[in-house]
Amino acid sequence: MVLDPKKHADWEIAQDAETRMKTVQQLGRDMGLLDKELLPYGHVMGKVDYRAVLERLGDKPNGKYVDVTAITPTPLGEGKSTTTIGLVQGLGRRNKRASAAIRQPSGGPTMGVKGSAAGGGLSQCIPLTQYSLGFTGDINAVMNAHNLAMVALTSRMQHERNYNDEKLLKLSGMPRLNIDPTNVNMGWVMDFCCQSLRNIIIGMDGTNGRSDGFMMRSRFDIAVSSEVMAILAIAKDLKDLRQRMGKIIVAYDRDGKPVTTADLEVDGAMTAWMVEAINPNLIQTIEGQPVFVHAGPFANIAIGQSSVIADRIGLKLNEYHVTESGFGADIGYEKFWNLKCHYSGLTPDAAVVVATVRALKYNGGVAKADLNQPNMDALKHGICNLDAHLDNMKKFGVPVVVAVNAFPTDTDEEMDFIREHCAERGVRVALSEVFAKGGEGGQALADEVLAVLDEGKADFHMLYEDSLPLEDKIRKIAKEIYGALGVTIAPAAKKELANITEMGYGNLPVCVAKTQYSLSDDASLLGRPTEFVVNVRTARLAAGAGFVVVETGSIMTMPGLP
């Protein structure tokens, strides 16, 4: 007997379900893992030796690949993780062998206002507490690897100031790197939201004077926005991760040439911190299906994707593999499309766009406090947001199913309107009742996904060619995905884009950081704004991850607490 979501909180449901969960060994065997391919972390969690799995199953055909994305989110959330878990449970009810891949929650939102992103109600993954609080240590490994580069950089800057070339070479065996303190590419990271660390001064003289560091401006970012986390998300294997780690640009010298982690001779040590983290984590749904958890969230300021490695082994081990992209299709799916698939070589067979009645009403202008009240006018006004995302999805050639995540306050009239609207567009739609009913409530969605997969109409392609100039890539994303009139690029960002191109990186894809709450770069513009321009503030080369990061609007890489 499962607990009733109407009467019990998510954590109570999770704790009750944990009394009946499979051991991680049984979970692995049910999925087809050999015992030697499973690395247990206690009784109910584990990591998977990805290399052993891929060596054994490398020639086996992949299962069907499905991505879950959403409409523009509201502060209330749309239930993307809930739908991802529920779809896998629904496929299980149809006797299909399926797995999910989701992102590990950051301590920032978990200790803030959002919760742990484990799903909800009868559609969540367990064990909840361990998953929410540190898990198997992947984010800690990312923090240590990233901050090790900063330790090496700041130490080197201090010693280059304190010693002449001869003594520097004698003491360290390294020539002077001539680092420019005004052109440092990296900051520090931590896995909490802390607005007071966004802009800091480090290295002030203390008791030890000039031995206390090099005084300079610096910053902290949220850990999951680290380039190290991006590398974990897109690396194909340990060799690929190791090569990418050495390409991370920590700063530039006084001639404007990049100084990398390899130049600091710290890239091997950084990789050592990541050797265990590269193996995906394995837990389960409340109903006992496998869930891979690997890489981090925040697709608004980072790549925000579950890992390529988790998807690779999920596709080898299962008939169907459902992966999750962060935030709306304009952010999460765009990066899944043009970044993750660009490097993985994997192409999706179908996509699911999660929508809610209350989110559509929010995009139609209803205040947060009034979203539980029926309002057909607002729903009709806000449906344009769903249309924008469906139009975007058409551009990459993958069939789409709309999943309407049900809430008790939804009315039949509201649901009928969404169904009729999707039917007019020729798009499949299903009511997803996974929060209240688990796998039983996910069967209708599973049926629609299976139907589009059986049709086999996927013709996946990228939005832009690698050869397109960086500024044109930004404009293409802004105009075709966000619906912008155009783009303005600040002089400093324009100069940096030119420098990046001159260094030979102009063929890289672009990772745009922007607000998740609007198709534009202004969080206050709801629905489907049209009369707006995207404002690019900064540009930064992430050579290890293999993309160029541009920040738009007022987006920040260190969130704050309310």
H or E element that contains 425: helix 412-425
Using the structure block, give the residue that is written with the tokens 């049209």: 530
Could you tell me if 163 and 171 are in contact, meaning their C-beta atoms sit under 8 angstroms apart? Answer: yes
| Residue 500 Cα to chain centre, angstroms | 24
**Cα distances (angstroms) measured from residue 467 to each of 124, 306, 477, 506:** 42, 27, 15, 8
User: Nearest 5 degrees, angle CA 263-CA 266-CA 271?
Assistant: 125
Tell me the per-residue pLDDT of 72-82, one tens digit each, with 9 for 90 and over: 988 777 788 99
Contact 203, 276 (CB under 8 A): no
Q: How far apart are CA 157 and CA 179, in angstroms?
A: 7
Instruction: Please give the structure tokens belonging to residue 155.
Output: 């130490």
Q: What is the mean pLDDT of the segment spanning 420-430?
A: 95
**Predicted pLDDT at 409:** 85
Retrieve residue 126's tokens.
């367990």
Backbone angles phi, psi at 76, to 5 degrees: -85, -20
Q: What pLDDT score was predicted for residue 317?
A: 97
Tens of pLDDT, residues 503-522: 999 999 999 999 999 999 99
Task: Give the mean pLDDT of the chain.
Answer: 93
Torsion-angle region of 408 (φ positive above 0: left; ψ -120 to 50: alpha; else: beta) = alpha
Q: What is the pLDDT of residue 113?
A: 65
Contacts for 54-58 with beta carbons within 8 Å, 24 or more apart?
Answer: 54/237, 54/312, 54/313, 54/316, 57/316, 57/317, 58/316
| pLDDT value of position 116 | 66
Q: Quick check: 447 pLDDT over 90?
A: yes
Report pLDDT digits (tens) over 96-132: 999 999 999 888 888 876 666 788 899 999 999 999 9
Q: What is the per-residue pLDDT across 261-312, written as a single tens digit (0 to 9) for each? A: 999 999 999 999 999 999 999 999 999 999 999 999 888 889 999 999 999 9
CA pair distance 555, 560, nearest whole angstrom: 11
Is residue 413 within 8 A of residue 354, CB to CB? The reply is no
Task: Inform me whether the pLDDT recorded for 2 exceeds 90.
Answer: no
- Mean per-residue pLDDT for 146-160? 95
Q: What is the pLDDT of residues 323-336, one digit of tens each?
A: 999 889 999 999 99
559 half-sphere exposure, CB direction, 13 A CA radius = 28
Q: How many CB atoms lie within 10 A of CB 243?
A: 15
**What is the per-residue pLDDT for 408?**
84
Could you tell me which residue, 10 or 145, shows the higher pLDDT? 145
Strands 281-285 and 290-293: antiparallel
Give the span between the Cα atoms of 380 and 382, in whole angstroms.
6
Angstrom distances, CA of residue 124 to CA of 120, 138, 354, 441: 5, 21, 16, 13
Residue 531 DSSP one-character state? S
Q: Given CA atoms 307, 310, 316, 317 in this order, what sign does their dihedral have?
A: negative
Q: How far is CA 65 from CA 68, 185, 186, in A?
A: 10, 36, 35
Q: What is the pLDDT of residue 115?
A: 64
Q: What percent of the chain has pLDDT over 90?
A: 81
Instruction: Give 233's pLDDT tier (boundaries 50, 70, 90).
Output: very high
**Closest C-alpha to 415, from 387, 372, 376:** 376
Mean pLDDT throughout 193-198? 93
Give the pLDDT confidence score for residue 44 in this predicted structure: 96
What pLDDT does residue 107 have?
A: 86
Cis peptide bond upstream of 127, omega within 30: yes
Residue 236: CB atoms within 10 Å: 17
Residue 301 pLDDT: 87
Joined tokens for residue 379: 């729903």
| Nearest of 32, 25, 28 to residue 319 by alpha carbon | 32
Q: Which pLDDT band holds residue 53 (cuts at 50, 70, 90)? A: very high
d(C-alpha 15, C-alpha 8), whole Å: 11
Distance from C-alpha of 210 to C-alpha of 204, rounded to nearest angstrom: 9
462 within 8 A of 337, measured Cβ to Cβ = yes
Is pTM beyond 0.85? Reply is: yes
Distance (Å, rounded) from C-alpha 107 to C-alpha 189?
12
Of 461, 301, 299, the C-alpha closest to 393 is 461
The amino acid present at 138, given as its one-letter code, is D
Average pLDDT over residues 160-172: 90
Read off the pLDDT of residues 449-501 as tens digits, 9 standing for 90 and up: 999 999 988 888 999 999 999 999 999 999 999 999 999 999 999 999 999 99
Q: In this structure, are residues 395 and 386 in contact, taking their beta carbons and an 8 Å threshold? A: no
Per this entry, what is the length of the chain?
A: 562
Strand partners, 533: 486
Residues with Cβ within 8 Å of residue 277, at least 6 apart in sequence: 137, 138, 141, 142, 232
Q: Which residues contact 404 (CB under 8 A, 6 or more apart)?
A: 355, 356, 357, 415, 418, 429, 430, 431, 432
Residue type (1 letter), 357: V
Give the residue from 357, 407, 332 showing the smallest Cα distance to 68: 332
Nearest to 559 by CA among 248, 217, 302: 302
Q: Residues of the chain with pLDDT > 70: what percent?
A: 99
**What DSSP string runs through 199-234?**
SEEE---BTTBGGG---EEE-EEEGGGSHHHHHHHH
